Structure 1
Amino acid sequence: MAARIRSGNPGNGGTSGILSAPAQGGSATSMSNAIVPYQAPQSNGGNDRNYNGGFNSGYNRGNRNFNNGYNGGYNNGNRYRRGWSGREHEHDDRVDKIYGLLSEQAEEREERKREAARLVSLEEEKKRLQAEEEKRVEAKREREQQEIRLGQIVRTNVQAVCEFALGRKVDLPGEGESEINKLRKEIDELKSKCAENSKQANLEVLRKEKEALQKVQDQGSEEEKLQREIDELRARCGQQQGQCSLDKDRMVALQLQVDELNGLRKALVDKCSELASLKKENTQIRGEFKELKD
């Protein structure tokens, strides 16, 4: 309202927008230049008619006809729309924040699920490697027992061949005095010690791993630890495979020894049969010689 008053009445052709003070002393020529605020007219005369006809007509026609482009009229509601737009913007910001928080929580839940799945897969891989290691240990134990049985069979066969060839009882070196058996016993003792130490170490490692899994399950670092443990198990498996290859070489050497002893036994049997035939021929010759002598 005050802005329209300052801008002047377009209907009356005013340009200054400020009403001048009335003349003092009744003289039309002595006009004062003092500026006073606008006061509404008290009468319904011609000024009121001009105010209603000019000023209000311009006010009601809208902000395009009044003051040449004024856009802040009450009839258009621009100020009300600006205030409502601010509240809508604040509401949208709040909704965006809530949506962002919910999205972050959903992503965290999905990340925890993926982490749990990775941990489960790593645990399964670890159990599988441990089962393979136990199978290799069992196979190695069976091979060692087979080696012991083969050694006993070879010893028994050699003793029988020697007794048959020499015609008397032969005492072969005892199992405790044999160098191979001594080495085998030492190897068995070392293996048993290593197995006990490895079992204790495995139990301790598993206990520590369980505690570590419980502590850092939500931190995402368990995957690297399990990967390192899998690498260590693979390295151990490689070492054990090397040991198994050594055991295979020993088995091959023992088999070669068995083959050599079998050949020796066959040769001794042939010699014994030849000796028996010679004894028989000698007996016949002696009988014939006695008959000739008589």
Structure 2
Amino acid sequence: MTFTVPGRELEDLEAQVQTALRTADGSALTVLGYGEVTLVLRLETAAGPFACKRLPVFPTRERFARYERTLAEYLERLDKGGVRVAPTELWSMPLPSGRVVAYCVQEALPPERLCSTLLQTEGQVWARDFFARFLDVADGVVGPSLGLDAQASNWIDLDGELIYLDVTTPMMRDARGHERLDVKLFFTSLPWLLRDAVRLSMTKSIFDKFYSTRGVVLDFLGNLHKERLEKLIPDFVEDSAPRLPEPLTVDEVAAYYRDDARMWELIQRLRKADRFWHRSVRRRPYPFLLPPHVER
């Protein structure tokens, strides 16, 4: 299923983003959510609303074309693995400098059907049924060369079917175990002096977990702490045990979340310091819209 990408409206949206970056005021934008690297904006059009995830600006058309091919392959492999992905289109706009602005675009789906929301509003029976379906999907697709960032906020439940939303970071590895994603690009929001050091020291710890069912489940359960859904973890640990080569424990989930939260808090502090340097020292716009403080 495809849809027509609202190109003219996306150009207008990007103009609003540029204004927000220049003025350091994003109040005119409707933000659906902040990822750790990118953000999702709501775009209202005559054809209906869209969720538009702005990607880091690509420095060359060649690097954008490489990302476009990688994303297309990732979508195809997820589909073959039994993951139903929300229809996704990639929209881009070349800049006079040769750089490329791009958005991953999806038709906006009902936010009340986000699984992170439903886990708050539905009862235990629904939660355990959802988790069983989640395990089926994750176990059927994840492997050494194909990963999945499967936290609850990346799924939506429509008519009893799980639909996966967040595909902007294609997780695939080559035969040597190296990320096929342009990892360097997705670290451009860090201060340039620290980018290579952070990338080299943290890439493995950030991505490794997404390439095994156990790691995916561990990350899913850890993020329940961020969603204030810790009460669900003991039952989910029990339900996942038969699926995993080594069962998880409640204490392991809590320790994992503490470590993960510390890592992302460090990254966000570095980004905020870089934003201050851009605005206060260099007197230039900071080229990213950062999330507000997240209670972890």
After TM superposition, the score normalised by the length of structure 1 is 0.23
Which has a greater percent of helix? 1
Question: Does 1 or 2 have the higher relative contact order (CA < 8 Å, sep 6+)?
Answer: 2
Which has a greater percent of strand? 2
After TM superposition, the score normalised by the length of structure 2 is 0.23
